[in-house]
Amino acid sequence: MIIMAYQRSGTHMLGSAIASHPQLRYVDEIFRNNPPQTVEVAMATIQQYEHPDVMTYLDIKYNQIAAAEELLWEMRVIHLVRRDDRAHWFSGLYKNYMGQHPEARQALAGRGEYPMIPFDRAGFEKFAARKARLMAKFSYLEDIRLYYEDLTGNHQIAVLPEQAEIAICDLAGVERRPLTVTETKDAPANYRDYILEDQ
């Protein structure tokens, strides 16, 4: 089973909910540090995570699919998509900014405040075009598509919506039950409050 997405689409949040089901487990990006160059390497890596008693969901991003694309034809794929490209883009900017400015992370921690990040129109347009191109390229692999905004309503949530729970459990062939979210978002939902628009 695969969760397929662009980076910063909410796969960890979705994976935490999937892992709350006793018959399911979630494995973070298996190709993050070493994207496979051949289908044989991809298969060997994927096989390491097979489990006899539970169905495993693997997290694979668009840019990690190349060698594994043929394998994904035989797997069941949840395609997780964010509709709001600007919120999606900001999520990545925010993560990078906080990683590069630990003093800001410490100063803002716990206060619900976020850095003011100028809106880079050229950078955003490049991001949106690349995301659209990759999403279109790999959409044929999906068995079901879930939208981040439908799952969360752009808020921290405790459990996935029933419609998503049914789709995920039915795809995996396991008993339907509420899927509890334990992973929280680390960027503001209302990103418009934190981006300085260019004029």
- For 106-165, the pLDDT digits (tens) are 666 556 566 677 778 899 999 999 999 999 999 999 999 999 999 998 788 899 999 999
What percent of the chain shows pLDDT beyond 90? 56
The dihedral sign for the CA sequence 93, 96, 99, 100: negative
Nearest to 168 by CA among 156, 153, 151, 183: 151
DSSP 32: S
Which of the pair, 34 or 165, is modelled with greater confidence?
165
Beta bridge partners of 80: 146
The answer to whether residue 97 scores a pLDDT higher than 60 is: yes
Nearest to 62 by CA among 8, 124, 123, 122: 8
Structure-derived torsion over alpha carbons of residues 45, 54, 180, 174, reported in degrees to the nearest 10 = 120
DSSP for 108-173, please give it.
HTTTT----EE--HHHHHHHHHHHHHHHHHHGGG-SEEEEHHHHHTTS--SB--HHHHHHHHHHHT
- For 105-121, the pLDDT digits (tens) are 666 655 656 667 777 88
| Rounded average pLDDT over 62-68 | 90
- Predicted confidence at residue 105, as pLDDT, reads 64
The answer to whether residue 168 scores a pLDDT higher than 80 is: yes
Instruction: State pTM to two decimals.
Output: 0.88
> Which residue matches tokens 């919120």?
87
| Rounded average pLDDT over 32-43 | 88
Which tokens belong to 182? Answer: 């334990």
